[in-house]
Amino acid sequence: MAVRLPRGFRAGAVRAGIKPSGRPDLALLVSGLPAHWAYAATQNRAAAPSIHRGRALYAQGGPLRAVVVNAGNANCATGERGFRDDARMAELAAQRLGISPEEVLTASTGVIGVPLPVERIERGLPQIDLTPFAQAFAEAILTTDLVVKVAEAEVAGARIVGVAKGSGMIHPNLATMLAFLVTDAWVPQEVLREAWRGIVDRTFNQVTVDGDTSTNDLALLMANGAYGEVPLEPLLEAVEGVARELSRKIARDGEGATKLMTVRVQGAATEEEARRAARAVAASLLWKSALYGNDPNWGRILAALGNSGARFDPLRVEIRLQGVPLYRGGALPFDRERASQAMRAEEVEVFVDLGEGPFRAEAWGCDLTEGYVRINALYTT
């Protein structure tokens, strides 16, 4: 069923000829009203021009009206031309919509080091048909993704819709993705921005597929107020729920993946240590390989925890896999075949209790397969 965007938002896409596949690759997301916005971007030092421009706009604090996205070309490591091309993309979108370029955020995703074909964007933008539905936009922003990623929620009549892309080159901070969340609720900008930092830390920054952080990642939240005010706490909880659902969808669609891994950690001394411990297990190549082979090799989980930076005493740690107790201060007797069979599921849960404190966190990842190697061995050839 088509997902309708919140009040005042429209979106659309077109085949501009940027992707070699010929699939839709140029997209617009537009608010009819000036929107408050919150933004998080990659910490990769080789960040693309779109990220530099987004940070500058964010610091200015003005409203946002639109996002223009191209998929198939990262427009990264393309020198001064890349910055000019990114600015031109914003100008073209602003002309198409009759707004200021400072109200337009740019985003790019795809191959690094290839000049952006701006002339194709110039031809394609006028052809985009804007509708109140998310589907065309969600499809156009994909690269190696196999599935469209959309999530939605409602609070007291206000709606939240999130759209994301991400499949490979995924690791905090920020996980490799483009994520766009929009709501028609009214939220003060300073409140929105303060809340978004924590939401991103607990959701998108807890996703890992392969340990590589991209040059183009961003996560955006826009609130245009078209519906009006609603209770703030449940609204932000719903926004976090949408972000969490998108995070899980990104991890499940990891390149070559056959299963989603959810890592739940409790008993940490701090929230940050809980997040670190969960991410370390989700990111471990050794454990991801064992996950693919349905091998309940709990020693790889314990080793990843020990490298995470989280404080714990191994004599107080507990590890369970799909509910099967494997370790509690030492190896536990368990039916290896039963545990292996339990791992043959589309979602596998790793539970860890560090035995140190009251804090908990989740992280999401996937197994490591031959499919991941094939996709990335032939990415540009």
Tokens of 221: 């939240």
**Exposure of 129 in the CB half-sphere (CA atoms within 13 A):** 6
Helix (H) / strand (E) containing 344: none
**Encoded amino acid at 283, one letter:** A
Helix axes 271-283, 298-306, angle to 10 degrees: 130
How is 268-282 classified by DSSP, letter by letter? ESSHHHHHHHHHHHH
Catalytic residue among 106, 109, 176, 215: 176
- For tokens 């804090």, name the residue: 359
With contact defined as beta carbons under 8 Å apart, do 241 and 166 qualify?
Answer: no
Does the active-site annotation cover 176? Answer: yes
DSSP 170: -
Number of other CB atoms surrounding residue 341 within 10 Å? 14
Distance separating alpha carbons of residues 174 and 286, to the nearest angstrom? 23
With contact defined as beta carbons under 8 Å apart, do 171 and 211 qualify?
Answer: yes
Rg (CA), the chain: 21
Tokens of 28: 């617009």
Helix (H) / strand (E) containing 88: helix 79-97
| Strand-pair partners of 321 | 324, 350
Q: Report residue 117: phi and psi, to 5°.
A: -80, 80
- For tokens 């077109």, name the residue: 14
DSSP 191: H
By CB neighbour count within 10 A (0-12 exposed, 13-18 middle, 19+ buried), where does 90 fall?
buried
DSSP 225: E
**Which are the catalytic amino acids?**
176
